[in-house]
Amino acid sequence: MMRATKGDGRIAFAYLTPALLLLVGLLGYPIYQLVLISLFDYGQEQVSGGVPLTFLGLENYANLLADAKFWSVLGQTVGFAAVCVIGTLVVGAALAVLATRVRTWARLTLFLAALGAWATPAVAGSTIWLFLFDANFGFVNEVLGTTGFSWTYDRWVAFGLVAAQVIWCSFPFVMVTLYAGIKAIPGEVLEAAALDGASALRTARSVMLPLLRPLLIVVTIQSIIWDFKVFTQIYIMTNGGGIAGRNLVLNVYAYQQAFAASEYGLGASIGVVTTVLLLLVTLGYLRALKKSGETL
């Protein structure tokens, strides 16, 4: 490889400047504002200028971290996101493999169905699922003969239903991505493995999986970030967090406690904490991969 000289660096920097400016403007400034707001007592009174601003320092964070409800909601969010991520990956990967093995018309049907789910807006999707699982008039209760059973009342049943909805609308991304990945594996490689006498399982583990690894990393991180930030499904399907708030996840909790109540300072601090947590999760994940000998 050629060593970069100082002049090259400067030119590279010049080329990158427009992108950098864009990133600073679109990403850096909002994050700066978010952090800034989280340090103030910033409610509607302050926004519209009726009341002077008070600088709180880290008080919003201290209050947040001292709140037992925050921790229980955080735990719930992590558990919920984990189930959704695993579910999405398993369903997505299984269907991707299936898609490579079936005839064209079957694959086409599968893709159309998946794209339909993918293209459905979250609000519409959640509402339709609610209709399907309605206690009195729902199709599902009709088929199962359980008319009157409420799918959104019990804590775990409600979480399960929402998780199923989240998986339903996020598996297509995983499926399409992995299908493309599997298709991109050169036929020669698989042929070579077959000539060496590798079983299907062995080929999958030792040939396909390593080749798919970069894609798997991307879809996993994407899924973690998406599912950790779930808002719409919980908000709509459990009517704002379930009975007595037992189905709350972090984003809905932040909305309820901070934005609906006009406590923007507190809300911003929840936003910062979420961002940091997601950053840590992603870094931790990358690090674990690195340890297992993968180059990024």
Partner 1 sequence: MRVAKRVAAVAAGLAVTVLATAGLSGCAPVQSGPAATGTDQQTGQLRVWLFDEVNRGPKEAVVKEAVTEFQNAHQGVTVDVQYIQVQSRAERFKAAFSDPKSAPDVAEFGNTDLAGYVSGGGFAELDLSSWAEAKDLLPTVADTGKVDGKTYGVPWYVGIRALYYRTDVFTELGLKPPTKLDEIAPLARQIRAAKPDLLGISAGGKYTYAAMPFVWANGGDIAREDGGKYVSTIDSTESKAGLRQYTELISDDICPPAQCAGNGGDASVEAFRAGKAAMVIGGDFNRKSVDASTAAGKYAVVPVPGTTAGSIAPAFAGGNLLGVMKGSERKTLANQFLQLLGGKQYQRKMFDAMGNMPTFGDVQNDLAKANPVVEPFIKTLNAGTKFVPVTPNWAKIDAQAVLPTLLQEVAAAGNDLDTAAKKAADAMNAAFSS
Q: Which residues bind partner 1 (CB under 8 A)?
A: 31-33, 35-37, 39-40, 42, 44-51, 53, 55, 57-58, 135, 148-150, 152-154, 239-246, 256-257, 260-263, 276, 279, 283, 286-287, 290, 296
Provide, rounded to whole angstroms, the least separation between the CB of residue 3 and partner 1.
18
Residue number, 117 or 135, with CB nearest to partner 1: 135
> What is each CA distance from 223 to 7, 227, 229, 231, in whole angstroms?
40, 6, 10, 14
Amino acid at 17: T
- Cβ-based nearer residue to partner 1, 227 or 263: 263
Contact 122, 233 (CB under 8 A): yes
- Would you put residue 134 in left (φ > 0), alpha (ψ -120 to 50) or beta? beta
- Written as six digits, the tokens of 128 are 């339709």
> Which sign does the torsion angle of CA 225, 228, 139, 96 carry?
positive
Both structure tokens of 65: 């971290």
Choice between 133 and 179, CB closer to partner 1: 133
Q: Which is nearer to partner 1, 109 or 146 (CB)?
A: 146
- Rounded to the nearest whole angstrom, what is the least distance from the CB of residue 19 to partner 1 in the complex? 16
Bridge partners, 50 (sequence order): none
Name the minimum Å distance from CB 118 to partner 1.
28
> For partner 1, which is the closer residue by CB, 151 or 171?
151
Q: How far apart, in Å, do the first and last CA atoms of the chain sit?
A: 18
We find the least distance from the C-beta atom of residue 34 to partner 1, in angstroms, to be 9
